[in-house]
Structure 1
Amino acid sequence: MNPALPPLPRLPVAVPRSGVSAEARRALRQLLEDVDRGLATAFRDGMDASALARRRGESVARVVAHVWVACLGEVTGAALFAIGGFGRGLLFPYSDVDLLALATASEPARLRALEQFFATLWDIGLKVGHAVREPAQCRALAAQDASVFTSLLDARRLAGDPAFDGQLRGIVDDPALWPPRAYLAARLDERNARHARYDDTAYNLEPNLKDGPGGLRTLDSLRWMGRRLAHAGELSELVAEGLLDPAEQAQLEQAESTLRRYRYALHLEAGRAEERLLFDYQQALAARLGFQDEHEKNLGVEQFMQGYYRAASQVERLGVQVAERFEEMLEPPAAEQPVGDDFVRYGARLAARDPELFMRRPAALVEIFIARLEQPGVLGFSADTMRRIHQATDAHGGLLARDGEVLAAFLRLLRRGAPAVEALWRMNRHGLLAAILPAFGKVFGRMQYDLFHVYTVDEHTLRVLRNMARFAEPAARAEFPLGCEIWAKLPKPEVLLLAAMFHDIAKGRGGDHSVLGEQDARDFCARLGLPAGDGERVAWLVRHHLLMSTTAQRQDITDPEVVHRFAEVVGDREQLGQLYLLTIADIIGTSPRLWNSWKDRLLADLYTSTRYALRSDVELPRDAGARVRECSAQALARLQEDGFAEAAVRKAWEDFPQLSFLRHRPEQIAWQTAAILRAQGAVPLVAVEPLSVRGSTELFVYTPDRDGLFATVTAMLDRLRFSVMESRILSSPTGMALDTFLLLEADSQQPASAARAEELQQRLQRALAQSLGVQPSKRSMSRHQKHFQMTPKISFHAAGGRTQMALVGTDRPGLLAAVAQVMLGEDVRVHDARIATFGERVEDFFQLTDRANAPLDAQRQERLLQALLARIGPARE
């Protein structure tokens, strides 16, 4: 049984100019509350959100008109208009009631009546936005501000003098006020400014349903532009004018229905006019709208958000294209210029010579994008051509993925290298990329419910491709010198572009997406006609696309064994270069916040050492003794150049364990040694290098070893808001601690300034000189961090006479300092720490012993585990 709309409220006949008594106000408030309850029940029962928003608009309009008559009577010389969404007849559960009162003269009695009118509306529970203007003022403001003019396009009279209808129409129909070209430019400027606030993408983790790219405001804008530019204010009228086709109208109407449904549910869930799909509401909204978990990699909330992203993407894509059609409509006719046998150019727009070309020869769907690359100054396709691309793509459907000529044209495009990336972006906007790569269509709008993946899978993939294209730009050499050098030498860039397209294509299916994607890539490359060796290389890159980042961030890349194992998997230098470029593009494309100078240096170091290891004349792993001798010789040479005597250096090195020369670079050893020699025996010694060769701020602590040292240092770093990227906790045979920390500013994820480095040095020096026992500061987690807490996963295993503890969990302010405090309290010594942060997720590894330097027994491991869970487990409200 279909649910029925709640009835419109019955109101008594208003007594003109009698005002609204307190009793009547209570009755009206109760009436509105009853209406809202009835609408909420109808929504829960499955009623269409648009119909319910209209019914609320009708109900509120009746109440507003009732109060107008009660306060002003059947007055002449004044009228009340609904504007904004209310003017269009839509009111969502907590939307503002936007009103415009027009009056010919500011009579004191009328002004008092208007004040009473608006105060009454607020008193009965309506959130009113209002303005009172004379018609001349209204015209002057509309002439100055396109947004004011736009608000009048939706105005409809609710009560008052009908004569004002004509005056308002005279303003919005005046050709001198915002003529078509000026109005289109103003709307596009407003769109661009609004989208810039949302990172120019509909794929934000917490998108704005109303104002974000692809939101409901985009659909409103299409109607506004249609009315002003083509006298076509509805989607059906845009079809009649040739600015939309029926299929596009259906897509927009379906997307609008989804967005309105989500917005209605969001208002009810939030209990206020919330337009952002915040994490706080996403799971509850998914449940409210009937989405259920399929498996752990396809949660109900992810399906719910995929529905939003798909709707918003359709709206954003068609919104851009219709705006281009408006621009073309206003352009003066251009002369025809032939472009090859199949295409012609009209000014800055490309078109198919034969209207049936794409239906007759599907490969032309790809070829026109190649032609666009070859035509400087082309801004897009003609409106008719865009429409025919969509129609042909829909008509051919799955055949495009198997058509040999289409795939051959697609391969020709990929072999263009970096320029092909922009074409791939455009093909995606037209739905063509998903038609050629059906697996890509499956991840269209697919999100992952965490803070690590900022974009949906399809948006992330396209950003990875754009990041790769940057390696071909001369301007990028300053930021990515190694990446640009590698890209310039790639013999077959299409291999890397294909790997980027497939690296996450199996997300959401269950299982390992790298393994599933490897097979997808292998199958597609075979259909594409790629040489077998190239296809295997694409498949290898997809299978191992996470290998380089996990090796660099989770293992000790100064250990030759680690480099050797990595090199064995990589196999050759060409594949190493491709993996390096894919890794960087993938990290930056996952979230701009994840990339920093430390990761840049870390990956470059792994690339360089692996490239050296892959030389045919080098045996791996290299002997540890040889590496110690080589490092110390280079460090000594640097120190002697700076005027230090060899005997003094050798004396200082008596406190350096052999691991120092294995774990550190020669320049780090030289810097640490110079600091010790300059201190002339004064301890504790704290040295800070604001920007080290490791792309981070380097902190070196040299002091007699004692329990609690690691806890004190990490607590001070937490107080000063530094993030620890890596630490090396070493003890000398003579009882000295030589601890090294690589740091970034917690807020900016950048190395410290000289002033901040000096502050760190002085504060930590004082703390170590006075006593141990500095406590970390207490800071609250962000709203996002609170929402995505997970119980830490902590495991122990033996590691060369010590106990290695792995900690995987949710990052939060002061996490490392809190862990160090717990270890101190449990009489556990930290000998090494490997810190890795992936968005909101941390993966830290510690080498531990008890106070007697023995591995932790099972009982102590269990005590430490419980103490850590109690301290850093999910916070309770």
Structure 2
Amino acid sequence: MTGPVADERSATPAAAADSAADARRPCAAGANPGPNLGPNPGSDPDDGAPPAPGTPAAIRAALAAVDAALADRFDNGGDADIDKLLRARADAVDAQVRAAWRACIAEDAPLALFAVGGYGRGELFPQSDIDLLVLAEPQAQAAQAEQLGCFFASLWDAGLPVGHAVRSPAQCSEAGSDLTVLTAMLEARPIDADAVARMALQAAIAPSQVWPAREFFVAKRDELRQRHARYGDTADNLEPNLKEGPGGMRDVQTLHWMALRIIGTSDLESLVSIGQLGADEWATLERERRALSRLRFGLHLVARKREERLRFDYQKLLAERLGHVDSADNLAVEQMMQGFYRSAALVLRIGERLLQRFEEQIEGEAAPVALGAPYEAFELRRDYIAARTAGAAHEPQWPRDAAEVFALFAAWAAHDEIRGLHSQTARALAESLTRVPGYEQAEPALRERFLKLLRGPHPVHALERMARLGVLGRWIPAFSKVSGRMQFDLFHVYTVDQHTLAVLRNLARFASGVADERFSIAHEVWPRLRKPELLLLAGLFHDIAKGRGGDHSELGGDDARAFGTTMGLSESDTALVEWLVRQHLLMSVTAQKQDIADPEVIHRFASKVADREHLDHLYLLTCADIAGTSPKLWNAWKDRLLADLYTATRLALRRGLEHPVAGEERAAETREAAHAMLAAFGARDEDIAALFARMPQIAFQRGRPDQIAWQAASLRGVALGDTRVRARPVSAHGGAHAGALEVFVHSPDRDGLFAAIVATLDRLGLAIQQARVLDGPHGAIFDTFEVVPTDPRQPPSAEDVERRLAAALAGPLDKIRPARRAQPRHLRHFRIAPQIGFSDYRKGEQARPRTMLSLVCTDRPGLLADVAQTLRRQKLRVYDARIATFGERAEDVFQITDERDLALDETQQQALRDALLACLEGDHR
């Protein structure tokens, strides 16, 4: 039986290698596996006597008792050292594996048994695999096949998750060409093996046989980077993998394997004595490794299975088991997750340094290259920036003060193409962080150095590096408090500090001058900023007060003002940064929850913004903030919505707030512009007038000129009473966005039409972002929907949407029902109590009143379609809908009337409330 350990892992004998199939249960068949083996190890005694050692029943009973005791020690803090628990479980499993071995294998059999992988390290978590290697020559493998089958069957029948391989030394060398297999064998620990077998195994996997140190290092480093990229997406930010994720336990193990292969040491602590690792670095790495180990141990207990991801299913349970308690402004689960993120960040930081030192060990140091004026204090070593005195003998310790620290980041930003920070300088910096004062205690000259960083080249890169290396948290203490802080929801997929850095990176993209199709006008707005560093400061402070209780925008505004005043910014600059922090949600809320086609909405928003400078800054900050919350949150609809609000507000400010636009004036401007567009394509004036006459006049107040022209052109050749469906890609100022569509429906009005359209779009895999429902002449409706695909990988085409929606509306509407979909797993853990509100809405003195329905609830697939069906069953009409989703939270607003076009009275409101609650609770299904 040969092959990698990972290829032979199984919970049942039936899944083992074919070569052992006939030797699985020789004892149960009455075969004699060897002398003095005692009772049949493949079956349990039934006479009431204690099971014989090494039998499945004995193994199960022994390990169950051990696991219960270890869980009790873990829960009650009887043993705070997690390594003792891991070692105790490994020792307990050793004893049972050895007992099964001796029950099945003759003492003089030419076989040797080793624990490999994590089990070989002596790190055995409650649900970890038990990886075993049997070392034997081919002849012995064949002769002992039945006995080995008996041994493995005993372990499987006992419920141990065993992975095994049986190899000769030569076969170990051959299998070791697989890096994963070699890595497992590197940590082989004898369970029943003499010195000769140990030496044979070590010789078989020595660097002279397989994977020399240089090749091993490069392969493992690449493997680590690929793993970080694979597990670094947003899903794993919310439910991180303790073992494989960036900064997780696999990173620590990788460093250990590299040390073993490159240096020849069996533990990282020994690297301290040879100068490869600082005593403080080793202590930090060990502390965080133990913290991660404790999390993983508890996760296995809570999940009751081999689980490495901190899934939502377990986060609250694990936080409680670890003793965290909810506070007024910090949930227990958020406290636990903040601890994890901080541990992972430190593992990454120290791991990066140690990787560099291993590289130096292999490649050697190159001659340093001076950077030259004005950065004479720094040099390049193998393309890493280093302080010239850092690590040098007989030189003053670097840095002597915080000014030298800031000088480092200035030099680094000025030479942005270099590989990174040299490990010796990084270590010196870490050891001297206490010399970096908070900005309030700093001297004016040091404050000016920080401001120069913001005004210099690549300021966002400088801030990112300062944050990653712990300097920014020292300089701005409030930033350190949000380091690693998460919010237990599906909307914020990054910790606060990582979100802040993502926002700053988005701002850097705007500053690059290169057009990004995701942000249609941001690159045009950025050059108009008077002092771009003020926007960076607003981005840095906009969420800095998260987790303190109270309104984080207001508290953050206080922090921003204190910072600006202390740093010596002018009153106007400080006031701008403060205003941006306090109002950083204003534009997002206005665009997504109000009708920005309404001149009154634009006037109110413009009045709050007050001038072009504030508008430019707020627009860019809003785009960067939304896109930095989650890669999936920003879409074409939000881009166009914000661009339209920006453009409309800019025009309002240019006209002057004392001259607000009236609805009639807006309609006249739109009609004229749309007319010009149609005329440019050859349409005659009388034809254009006829098309416009078929459209609702309010459309000219609420629509864009290009939208009016497109809809009017869609009516060509359409007789009264006919249905026409059109769809086109969403574009904002010329940039089309894949998958996002604008859908226009013209049709004779019928009861249930809105619900039928919504249900059909839902079935097409399209999520509605905004719906505008207008009544036109001759009993026709003019409905416009902004939609985005729920699966961007498979968006339906505009032609497909037109065809399928038209076909659905041609038949009976009462047969169109929302699709039934299973609720995603993660939504089950985020339940929001439904909030249903009603208010009166009247547009203009002559308009008939409508009812504004607001709905806040847990999002789920098909929610809007179900709500639309509920409105239909209540015989209500929908005139406008604005759909906003924030992670697990849906916030929808509808303008509705009854079937007589009247606002709902209290009885109707209560009936609708009851029906919606039944819908949201699932009673309608």
CA drift at 1:640: 3.3
Out of 416, 419, 422, the residue aligned to residue 379 of structure 1 is 419
- Match of 2:630? 591
Out of 347, 350, 375, the residue aligned to residue 382 of structure 2 is 347
Cα distance, 1:267–1:294 mapped onto 2, change above 3 Å:
same
In 1, distance between residues paired with 2:387 and 2:684? 78
CA drift at 1:43: 1.3
Out of 465, 489, 499, the residue aligned to residue 450 of structure 1 is 489
In 2, distance between residues paired with 1:282 and 1:317? 25
Out of 161, 185, 192, the residue aligned to residue 218 of structure 2 is 185
CA contact (8 A) 1:230 1:241 kept: no
Out of 606, 610, 617, the residue aligned to residue 649 of structure 2 is 610
CA drift at 1:773: 4.5
CA drift at 1:203: 6.9
Cα deviation 1:657-702 (Å, max 9, x = unaligned): 3211111112211222222222133512222224456963122222
Aligned residue for 1:447, secondary structure, equals: coil
- Match of 1:54? 87
Cα distance, 1:152–1:819 mapped onto 2, change above 3 Å:
same
In 2, distance between residues paired with 1:718 and 1:523? 49
Cα deviation 1:755-797 (Å, max 9, x = unaligned): 4334434433434xx4444111111110012221212211001
The answer to whether structure 1 residue 422 and structure 2 residue 448 are counterparts is: no
CA contact (8 A) 2:239 2:310 kept: yes
- Match of 1:134? 168
- Match of 1:724? 768
Cα distance, 1:573–1:630 mapped onto 2, change above 3 Å:
same
CA contact (8 A) 2:112 2:194 kept: yes
State how 1:131-210 maps to structure 2 within 5 Å: 131-142=165-176, 144-175=177-208, 177-199=210-232, 204-210=237-243
CA drift at 1:726: 0.7
CA contact (8 A) 2:246 2:344 kept: yes
The answer to whether structure 1 residue 308 and structure 2 residue 340 are counterparts is: yes
- Match of 1:541? 580
- Further displaced range: 33-42 or 683-692: 683-692
Cα deviation 1:170-208 (Å, max 9, x = unaligned): 234434532332221111111011111112689700000
Out of 473, 476, 497, the residue aligned to residue 437 of structure 1 is 476
The answer to whether structure 1 residue 115 and structure 2 residue 149 are counterparts is: yes
Q: Which amino acid aligns with 1:269?
A: V
CA contact (8 A) 2:172 2:205 kept: no
Q: Which amino acid aligns with 2:548?
A: R
In 1, distance between residues paired with 2:687 and 2:439? 76
Aligned residue for 2:484, secondary structure, equals: coil
TM-score by length of 2: 0.89
CA contact (8 A) 2:757 2:809 kept: no
In 2, distance between residues paired with 1:427 and 1:667? 47
Aligned residue for 1:469, secondary structure, equals: helix
In 2, distance between residues paired with 1:29 and 1:197? 37
Cα distance, 1:276–1:774 mapped onto 2, change above 3 Å:
same
- Further displaced range: 368-377 or 841-850: 368-377
TM-score by length of 1: 0.94
Cα distance, 1:513–1:100 mapped onto 2, change above 3 Å:
same
Cα distance, 1:21–1:217 mapped onto 2, change above 3 Å:
same
Cα distance, 1:739–1:375 mapped onto 2, change above 3 Å:
closer
State how 1:318-717 maps to structure 2 within 5 Å: 318-339=350-371, 340-355=375-390, 356=396, 358-375=398-415, 377-396=417-436, 398=438, 402-416=442-456, 419-473=458-512, 475-615=514-654, 619-691=658-730, 696-717=740-761
Out of 259, 271, 275, the residue aligned to residue 226 of structure 1 is 259
The answer to whether structure 1 residue 45 and structure 2 residue 80 are counterparts is: no
CA contact (8 A) 1:564 1:610 kept: yes
Cα deviation 1:483-504 (Å, max 9, x = unaligned): 1222233332211111111111
The answer to whether structure 1 residue 839 and structure 2 residue 887 are counterparts is: yes
Cα distance, 1:477–1:452 mapped onto 2, change above 3 Å:
closer
Q: Which amino acid aligns with 2:829?
A: H
CA contact (8 A) 1:16 1:72 kept: no
CA contact (8 A) 2:752 2:813 kept: no
Out of 843, 850, 857, the residue aligned to residue 809 of structure 1 is 857
Aligned residue for 1:610, secondary structure, equals: helix
Cα distance, 1:315–1:397 mapped onto 2, change above 3 Å:
farther
The answer to whether structure 1 residue 241 and structure 2 residue 241 are counterparts is: no
CA contact (8 A) 1:447 1:456 kept: yes
Structure 1 residues not aligned, in runs of 5+: 1-13
CA drift at 1:17: 4.6
Aligned residue for 1:576, secondary structure, equals: helix
Cα distance, 1:77–1:759 mapped onto 2, change above 3 Å:
farther
* CA RMSD after TM alignment: 2.3
Out of 780, 783, 794, the residue aligned to residue 836 of structure 2 is 794
Cα deviation 1:538-576 (Å, max 9, x = unaligned): 111111111111111111111111111111212222221
- Match of 1:8? none
- Further displaced range: 838-847 or 644-653: 644-653
CA drift at 1:404: 3.4
CA drift at 1:382: 2.7
Identity %: 46
Q: Which amino acid aligns with 1:242?
A: G
Aligned residue for 1:728, secondary structure, equals: strand
In 1, distance between residues paired with 2:572 and 2:713? 52
CA drift at 1:397: 5.8
Cα distance, 1:657–1:182 mapped onto 2, change above 3 Å:
same
Structure 2 residues not aligned, in runs of 5+: 1-33, 45-51, 391-395, 843-848
CA contact (8 A) 1:401 1:407 kept: no
- Further displaced range: 444-453 or 614-623: 614-623
How many equivalent pairs are there?
859
Q: Which amino acid aligns with 1:559?
A: D
Cα distance, 1:87–1:875 mapped onto 2, change above 3 Å:
farther
Cα deviation 1:241-283 (Å, max 9, x = unaligned): 2222222222222211211111111111111011110001111
In 2, distance between residues paired with 1:128 and 1:875? 47
CA contact (8 A) 2:312 2:826 kept: yes
Aligned residue for 2:269, secondary structure, equals: helix
Aligned residue for 2:164, secondary structure, equals: strand
CA drift at 1:323: 0.9
Cα distance, 1:750–1:71 mapped onto 2, change above 3 Å:
closer
